[in-house]
Amino acid sequence: MTKCRGEIVLMFEVKSYIQQKKQVIDTSLEKILTKSQASETLVKAMSYSLMAGGKRIRPILCLAACEAVGGVSEDAVTVACALELIHTYSLIHDDLPAMDDDQLRRGKPTCHVAFDEATAILAGDALLTLAFEVLATIPVEDGDRTARRLQVIRLISRAAGYQGMIQGQMLDIASEGHKLSAGELEAMHRLKTGALIETALTCGGLLGGADERQMSMLKGYAANIGLAFQVADDILNVEGNPELMGKAVGTDLEREKSTYPSILGVQAAREYSTKLVQSALQAIETFDKHADPLRGIASYVIERRR
Amino acid sequence: MTKCRGEIVLMFEVKSYIQQKKQVIDTSLEKILTKSQASETLVKAMSYSLMAGGKRIRPILCLAACEAVGGVSEDAVTVACALELIHTYSLIHDDLPAMDDDQLRRGKPTCHVAFDEATAILAGDALLTLAFEVLATIPVEDGDRTARRLQVIRLISRAAGYQGMIQGQMLDIASEGHKLSAGELEAMHRLKTGALIETALTCGGLLGGADERQMSMLKGYAANIGLAFQVADDILNVEGNPELMGKAVGTDLEREKSTYPSILGVQAAREYSTKLVQSALQAIETFDKHADPLRGIASYVIERRR
C-alpha cells in the first residue's frame, strides 16, 4: 500500500504545486501590507521579515488540506495568510537576543539586527495582531462564513497561544543546556511547531467542508508531518549547507540544544523521519486524488535540502 | 448646561461604581487564567502582570458605554476582559529593556525583572493571543452574536495593531530625546492610548445596541477622555506620590520625554485636562441617566491621585 502511494507521490509534481501556491500566498501577503498607512519603519520591519523568502509551508498545507477534502483553495487564502503572519511574528520574537539570539534568518540579518530590538518586538506584535485583523475582516452579513471564521480564530488563537506554540517556545528555552529524552523533545515540538501546523490543516479542512472523519485523518497527517519537518530541520542543522539554508548550521550543537540527531544519532533520526512521513501518508490513504498535493508535500519533507 | 451636568456627576457615586465593575472584571480575568493547563512559569508571569492591581479603566469604560446606550453590562464582560488582556500585554512589552526599560509597574517589579526578559516577551505574546481566543470563544450557532463578535475582533485588532496602539509606541520610542510640538504629542497619544480607549467605548456601545448617532457621541467622549487621561498621567509623573502611584515619578523628565507639562507647563496642562473632560461631558450630554457612570468617570480622571 505504501509503495503504491509512493508511486502516486512521484507522479504528482509537488515542486510546481508548492511554487504555484507560494506565489498565491506571497501576492496576498504583499497586498495585505501595502494597504497600510502606518509608521514607515514599523511597516518596513514587518515587510522585511514577512517577505524574506519563507517556504510558506503552513499556508500551503492549509490550501492543500482544503483541496484534499474537495474544497476550493481560494476560500482558504485569507486564513492561510494569517497563519504565515503568526509564523513570521514567532520567528522574529524567537530570534531576539533574550531568546535564541540569532543573527541570520532566511539568508538575511534577523529583524532586530536589520532594524533594532524595540522595532523587532513591535513588528512581531503587529504581525500577530494583523493576523487577527485579517481573519476578522469579512462581510459580517455572511452568516455561515462568519460562524466558520470565528471558529477558525478560536482554533488559531489556541494553537498559537499559551497552551500551544508559546508554551512550546518556553519549554525550548528552558531546555537549553539540559539533555532531553526523545519523549520530552517530542512533547516540546508538538507544541512549538506541531500545534500551528495541525491548525493549518484543520482550518483548511474546515473551510473545504471536511466531515468529522476527514478532520480526524487530517489531524493524523498533521501530527506526523509536523514532527517529520522538525526531525528533518534538526538533521539539516547538523548536515545542511548554510548557503542553501540561509542560516547558520551547527548552532544547535553550540547551544547544547537537544535535537533528534543528538539523541538518536543522524542515521536513526533519518529513519525516524521516513517512518513519520509513512505514517502521515497512511493517515490520509483513503482520500482520493485531491489529496495528492498533501502526499507530495509529505515526501518533499525528507528530500528537501533546505 | 455643563454646570448642571457637573451636579449630576457629583450625585453619582463614581468610586463605588468603579470598585464594583473592577471586581467583576478581576473575577472574570482570574477565571480565564485558572482554566489553563499550560507551562507553570508562563502562566505565573501572565497572571503576575494581569492581576497586579491595574485600574481596569478600559474594561470599565466598555461596560459603562454598554449601559449608557441601554444595554446590560454582563453582555460586554468578555470583550472588556479581552481589552484588559491587550492593555496588560502592551505594558509588559513597553516596559522591556529594549523599550522604556522600566523597573516598577503598579507598585511591583516589572514582568521582566520579576521573571526574565524571554518570559516577559512570551507572556506578553500569550496575553495578546489569549485576548483573541477569549473573543472567539462563544457558541458558533448564535448568529447575531457571532457576527457582532467578529465585528468586535475587527475593531480591537485594528485599534491594537500597526495602525493604532503599536504605531503609537513606535512614535513614542522615536520621540525620546526630541522635543515634540503639542500637535505631534497629541497625534502620538491618540494612537498609543487613544485608539484602544475609543475601541473600549465603541465595542461597549455596539454590544449595548447603540445606533449610529450614539456611536458617534461615544467616539466624541472617547477622544476627549483618552487624551484627558494622558494629560493627567503626565501631570502625575511630575507631581505624583510614587507610593500611591506604584511606580517611579519624574521618569519622563529624566528621559527627556515630551509631555504636556513640559510643553505647556503644569498649570496650563491642568487647565487643558479640565477642558478635555468638559468636552467629553458635552459629547454625551443628550444621553439619559444611564450615562451617569461615563460622566462620573470623566470627572474622576482629573481628581485621581494615582
Question: Rounded mean pLDDT of A244-253?
Answer: 64
Q: Tell which of A32, A78, A122, A141 to mutate to test the B interface (max B CBs under 10 Å).
A: A122
At A104 the three-state DSSP class reads: strand
- What is the C-alpha to C-alpha distance for residues B192 and B168, in angstroms, rounded to an integer? 4
Q: Calculate the alpha carbon distances from B154 to A131, B132, B193, B254 in Å.
A: 11, 10, 18, 38
Of A29-43, B7-21, B153-167, B242-256, minimum mean pLDDT range:
B242-256
Q: Can you read off the three cell numbers belonging to residue A119?
A: 522595532
Interface residue A13 vs chain B (CB under 8 A): no
Interface residue B138 vs chain A (CB under 8 A): yes
Q: Which tens digit of pLDDT belongs to each residue from B268-306?
A: 999 999 999 999 999 999 999 999 999 999 988 777 754
Domain coordinates in residue numbering, chain B: 2-303
Inter-chain touch A171–B146, beta carbons under 8 Å: no
Residue type, B231: V
Choose among B205, B213, B199: nearest CA to B73.
Answer: B205
At A150 the three-state DSSP class reads: helix
Shortest CB distance from B121 goes to which of A99, A150, A167?
A: A99
Inter-chain touch B162–A43, beta carbons under 8 Å: yes
Q: Which tens digit of pLDDT belongs to each residue from A95-151?
A: 999 999 999 988 899 999 999 999 999 999 999 999 999 999 876 556 678 889 999
Inter-chain touch B136–A117, beta carbons under 8 Å: no
Choose among A95, A90, A126, A94: nearest CA to A109.
Answer: A95
Structural contact between residues A143 and A283, judged by C-beta atoms closer than 8 angstroms = no
pLDDT-above-90 percentage for chain B: 72
**Which pLDDT does position B39 carry in this prediction?**
57
**Which pLDDT does position B5 carry in this prediction?**
46
Interface residue A43 vs chain B (CB under 8 A): yes
Partners of A158 on chain B (C-beta within 8 Å) are: 133
Tell me the β-bridge partners of B109: B104
Question: Rounded mean pLDDT of A267-274?
Answer: 94
Query: Phi first, then psi: what are they for B109, rounded to 5°?
Result: -55, 140
- What is the C-alpha to C-alpha distance for residues B213 and B207, in angstroms, rounded to an integer? 15
Partners of B43 on chain A (C-beta within 8 Å) are: 162
Tell me the β-bridge partners of A105: A108
Partners of B169 on chain A (C-beta within 8 Å) are: 122
Interface residue A169 vs chain B (CB under 8 A): yes
b/e map of B214-236 (b: 16 or more CB within 10 Å)? Answer: bbebbbbbbbbbbbbbbbbbbbb
Inter-chain touch A126–B37, beta carbons under 8 Å: no
Partners of A161 on chain B (C-beta within 8 Å) are: 126, 129-130, 133
b/e map of B177-187 (b: 16 or more CB within 10 Å)? Answer: eeebeeeebee
Query: Can you list the alpha helix ranges (DSSP code H) found in chain A?
Result: 2-11, 14-34, 40-50, 57-68, 77-94, 111-114, 117-136, 143-160, 165-175, 182-189, 195-208, 212-239, 242-245, 251-254, 260-264, 266-283, 292-303
Give the largest CA-CA distance in chain A: 56
Inter-chain touch B147–A129, beta carbons under 8 Å: no
Shortest CB distance from A129 goes to which of B39, B166, B171?
A: B166
Question: What sign does the dihedral B163-B166-B170-B176 (CA atoms) show?
Answer: positive
Shortest CB distance from A42 goes to which of B99, B148, B170?
A: B170
∠ at Cα A196 (A81, A79), nearest 5°?
25
Looking at the predicted structure, is the pLDDT value of residue A6 above 50? no
ipTM surpassing 0.85: yes
Q: Which tens digit of pLDDT belongs to each residue from B83-136?
A: 999 999 999 999 999 999 999 988 899 999 999 999 999 999 999 999 999 999
Structural contact between residues A131 and A82, judged by C-beta atoms closer than 8 angstroms = yes
Chain B residue with Cα closest to A45: B162
Q: Tell which of B36, B41, B90, B129 to mutate to test the A interface (max A CBs under 10 Å).
A: B129
CATH number belonging to domain A2-303: 1.10.600.10
Give the largest CA-CA distance in chain B: 56
Interface residue A10 vs chain B (CB under 8 A): no
Q: Which tens digit of pLDDT belongs to each residue from A65-96?
A: 999 999 999 889 999 999 999 999 999 999 99
Query: Rounded to two decimals, what is the model's pTM?
Result: 0.92
